[in-house]
């Protein structure tokens, strides 16, 4: 599983990234967690509000910080 | 050319399905009460919600009650198991979506003024993570 956190490095992006790390750890799953902070890449992905979260290329969250419980639900599919 | 994406560190979370929150620290005078205040202010600075005085809630202020009715979530940060903040909210008929008790995060209650950045960060992270969700 590839999880991408898209954002230019603001505090909310950092909070989302940390929550993703916690959710992955608590679920005990193997995932590649990637920060995407290149503005061109973020625009090309069609993201209008950051932070955003993509799982295996699918955009799941945009413009807010999902908490750990919500992230675990998203990652469980 | 596509427009630049907007960062939700502004006031755009509501547009994106984010929560409009009111944060009440217990504002006690022991270290954990001081931490509750510092954490609420930092959370407000990070765009998590609006930090508001728990004493105003206790006074039954009608303006604040309207703001609470308009908000999506109320978050209470209590310093210790006395849970004064939650009791004040309960007395005013306010049910928090999240209730964090700082001593429950491993910070001991002592009557000292010293508050560290790490202690504040622990509480701020707990709120973002949703650790106090009921």
Q: Model confidence over B55-69: pLDDT tens digits?
A: 999 999 999 999 999
Overall domain count for chain B = 1
- Determine phi and psi for A54, rounding to 5 degrees: -120, 140
Task: Output the pLDDT for position B16.
Answer: 59
pLDDT at B6 over 80: no
> Over chain B, what is the mean pLDDT?
92
Task: Assess whether pLDDT exceeds 60 at residue B100.
Answer: yes
**Chain B residue with minimal CA distance to A21?**
B129
Catalytic residue status for A10 = yes
Residue B10 lies in a domain: no
Asked whether residue B4 is domain-assigned, the answer is: no
Under the banding of pLDDT at 50, 70 and 90, the label for residue B15 is: low
Longest dimension (CA), chain A: 33
Between CA B32 and CA B36 the distance in angstroms is: 6
Res. B74: pLDDT tops 70: yes
Q: What is the pLDDT of residue B17?
A: 63
Please give the DSSP secondary-structure letter assigned to residue B48: S
Burial class (CB in 10 A: 0-12, 13-18, 19+), B128: buried
Question: Is pLDDT above 80 for B9?
Answer: no
Residue among A40, A72, A54 nearest A5 (CA): A54
Mean pLDDT to the nearest integer, B12-23: 74
B21-25 sheet: strands from edge to edge: B50-51, B21-25, B73-78, B98-101
Question: Which among A39, A62, A68 is the nearest to B16, CB-wise?
Answer: A62
Selecting from A15, A47, A49 the residue whose C-beta is nearest the C-beta of B128 gives A15
Structural domain boundaries enclosing A50: 2-76
d(CA A10, CA A42): 14
Instruction: Please report which confidence band the pLDDT of residue B122 belongs to, taking 50, 70 and 90 as the band edges.
Output: very high
| Catalytic annotation, pick one of A3, A6, A13, A47 | A13
Judged by DSSP in three states, A40 sits in helix
Per the structure, the complete domain to which residue B124 belongs is given by 21-129
Asked if the structure places residue B121 within a domain, the reply is: yes
Look at residue B5 in the predicted model and tell me its pLDDT. Answer: 74
Residues 21-60 of B with CB under 8 A from A: 46-48
Residue A68 sits in a domain of what CATH number? 3.40.30.10
Predicted local confidence at residue B134, as pLDDT: 75
Q: What is the β-pairing status of strands B73-78 and B21-25?
A: parallel
Which residue ranges of chain A lie beneath pLDDT 50? none
């Amino acid at each position: 599983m590839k999880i991408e956190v898209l954002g230019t490095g603001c505090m909310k992006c950092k909070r989302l990234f940390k929550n993703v790390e916690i959710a992955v750890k608590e679920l005990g799953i193997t995932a590649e967690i990637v920060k995407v902070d290149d503005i061109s890449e973020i625009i090309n992905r069609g993201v209008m509000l950051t932070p955003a979260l993509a799982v295996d290329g699918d955009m799941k969250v945009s413009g807010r910080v999902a908490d750990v419980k919500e992230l675990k639900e998203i990652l469980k599919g | 050319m596509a427009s630049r994406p907007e960062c939700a560190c502004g006031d755009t979370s509501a547009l994106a399905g984010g929560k409009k929150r009111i944060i009440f620290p217990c504002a006690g005078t022991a270290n954990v009460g001081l931490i509750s205040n510092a954490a609420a202010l930092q959370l407000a600075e990070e765009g998590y919600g609006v930090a508001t005085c728990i004493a105003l809630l206790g006074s039954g202020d009608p303006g604040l009650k309207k703001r609470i009715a308009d908000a999506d979530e109320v978050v209470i940060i209590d310093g210790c198991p006395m849970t004064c903040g939650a009791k004040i909210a309960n007395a005013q008929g306010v049910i928090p979506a999240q209730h964090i008790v700082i001593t429950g995060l491993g910070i001991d209650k002592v009557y000292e003024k010293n508050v560290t950045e790490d202690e504040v960060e622990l509480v701020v992270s707990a709120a973002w993570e949703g650790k106090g969700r009921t």
